[in-house]
Amino acid sequence: MSEHPNPRPTLLSQLLQVPVIVAALGYLVDMYDLFLFSVVRVPSLKALNVPAEQLLTEGIRLLNFQMAGMLIGGVLWGIIADKKGRLSVLFGSIIMYSLANIGNGFVTSLDQYALLRFIAGVGLAGELGAGITLVTEVLPKEIRGYGTTLVATLGVLGAILAYFVADLFEWRISYFVGGGMGLLLLILRFNVFESGMFKQVKERTVDRGNVMMILTNGKRFGKYMMAILVGLPIWFVVGILITFSPEFGAAKGIEGINAGKAVMLAFSGQVFGDIFSGLLSQYLKSRKRVIGLFIMLSLTMMIGYLMIPTLDLFTFYLMCALLGFCNGYWTLFITIAAELFGTNLRATVATTVPNFVRGATIPLAALFVSFKPDLGVIQSGLLIGVATSLVALLALYFLEETFTKDMDFVEKE
C-alpha cells in the first residue's frame, strides 16, 4: 500500500503554532503589567500618602517614568532582537518586567515607585515588537493578519484581567500576580523556535539592527516616522482620556468615576475592535483602508466623549468602551510597521515604533497640563485629540499598502 503524502496544514494548525500562542500569552502578561498602574494609580498613591490634589500630577509623573523606560527599552530590545534573535528578547524582557512588577508591590515611597515603573517600562518595551515580528515571519502572508489579531486580542484581555485582579485584591497583591504570571510564562518559552527568516539572515553578511540605516536614509526614515505618527491617537486616548477619566468626568459634573473601571471597559471595547479590524483587513485585503476608518471613528468618538453632555455614569462608561473599540487598529498599526521593513531591521522597527507611540504620552501629557489652566480640561483634550487624529491621517496617506508584501527581504546599505 502506497504511503499518502502528509496532509496540507490547515489554517487553524498554522495559526496555533507554539510561537504564535506564546507571543499572544506574553502580550497578555505585558498588557496586564502595563495597565495595572492605570488601574491602581489612585489607591496606590493614596496608600503612599499622596494628597488628593496631587493625585493627577504625581500620576502623570510616574506614568512619564514608565513611558521613558519604554522609549529606552524599545530601542534596546529592538536592536537586540535583530542582532541576537527574537527569542533573546522574549526571554530577557519578560524576566525584567516580571521582577520589576514584583518589586512594585514592595514600594514604600514615590521615588521607589518611580524607579521601578521605569525599570518595568524598559522590560515591557520588548514584548510586543518581538512577538509581532516573530508571528509575521513564521506565518504565511495570507494568514499573518489572523496571527497578529490573535496576539492583540489576548493582549487586550490582559488589561481587562488587571482590572478584575485589582478589584479582588489589594494593589500590592495585584503587582505580585502580574510578576508571577510573567515568570510562569518563561517555562512555555523554552518550547519556542526561532524565526527561520532570521536564521537565514544571520548566516549572511548583512548588517542587522543598525539604527543608523534608518536615520541616515531619507526614504526609510520617512516611512519610520509616518508609522509612528499613525499610532498617536491610540495612546492619546489610553494615556490621557481614559487614564485620567475621573478628571474629565469631574469637569463634566460627573462624580464617582473609577479609573480602573474606565480602563477595563476601554480595553473590553478594544478586544472587539482588534478582532473586527483584523477580520475586516483580511476581507478587504488592506491594512491602510481599515486603519483610516478606525482613525476617523476614533476622532468622532473623542469629540463625543468630550463634548456631548453626559449626565450619568452609565453613559460615560459606555463612551469609554466605544473609545476603546475605536482604538482597535493597534495591532494593524504595528503589523504595517513590521511589514514595511526588511528582516534585518524588522524587529528594531516593530519594537521601537509602538514604544515611541507609547512614549508620546509624555509630550501629550505635558501639552495637556500646560493648556489646562487657560483652556480647561475639556477644551485642552479636544485640541490635542483633533490634532493627533489629523496628523495620523496625513501620515497614513503617505504609507504604502503592505497586506500582500513578502516578508523575506533585507534592507541594504
Could you write out the DSSP letters of every residue in 16-67? T-HHHHHHHHHHHHHHHHHHHHHHHHHHHHHHTT--GGGHHHHHHHHHHHHH
Q: What is the pLDDT of residue 34?
A: 80
3-state secondary structure of 4: coil
Grid cell digits, residue 391: 496628523
Domains of the chain by start residue, with CATH:
13-398 (1.20.1250.20)
Residue type, 336: I
Q: What is the pLDDT of residue 4?
A: 47
Query: Where does residue 253 fall: left (phi above 0), alpha (psi -120 to 50 degrees), or beta otherwise?
Result: left
Q: What is the pLDDT of residue 3?
A: 47
Q: What is the pLDDT of residue 1?
A: 44
Grid cell digits, residue 68: 521613558
Q: State the Cα–Cα distance between residues 18 and 337, nearest whole angstrom.
A: 23
Helices assigned H by DSSP within 196-237 = 196-202, 212-215, 218-230, 232-236
Alpha-carbon dihedral of residues 90, 359, 238, 167, nearest 10 degrees? 60
The per-residue pLDDT string of the chain (413 residues; one tens digit each, 9 = 90 and over) reads 444 444 455 667 777 777 888 888 888 988 898 878 878 888 999 999 999 888 888 888 898 898 889 889 988 998 888 888 878 888 888 899 999 999 999 999 999 999 999 999 999 888 888 888 888 888 887 788 888 888 878 887 888 888 889 989 999 999 999 999 999 888 877 777 666 676 677 677 677 778 888 888 899 999 999 999 999 999 899 888 998 898 899 888 888 888 878 888 988 898 889 889 988 998 999 999 999 999 999 999 999 999 988 778 899 999 999 999 999 998 888 889 888 998 888 888 888 898 888 878 888 988 998 998 889 899 999 999 999 999 999 999 999 998 888 877 777 86
Q: Enumerate residues 6+ apart whose C-beta is below 8 A from 92.
A: 77, 80, 126
Q: Enumerate residues 6+ apart whose C-beta is below 8 A from 204.
A: 410
Nearest to 189 by CA among 12, 21, 16, 15: 21
Please state the pTM of the whole predicted model: 0.80
Grid cell digits, residue 406: 513578502
Q: Enumerate residues 6+ apart whose C-beta is below 8 A from 393.
A: 292, 295, 296
Q: What is the pLDDT of residue 190?
A: 75
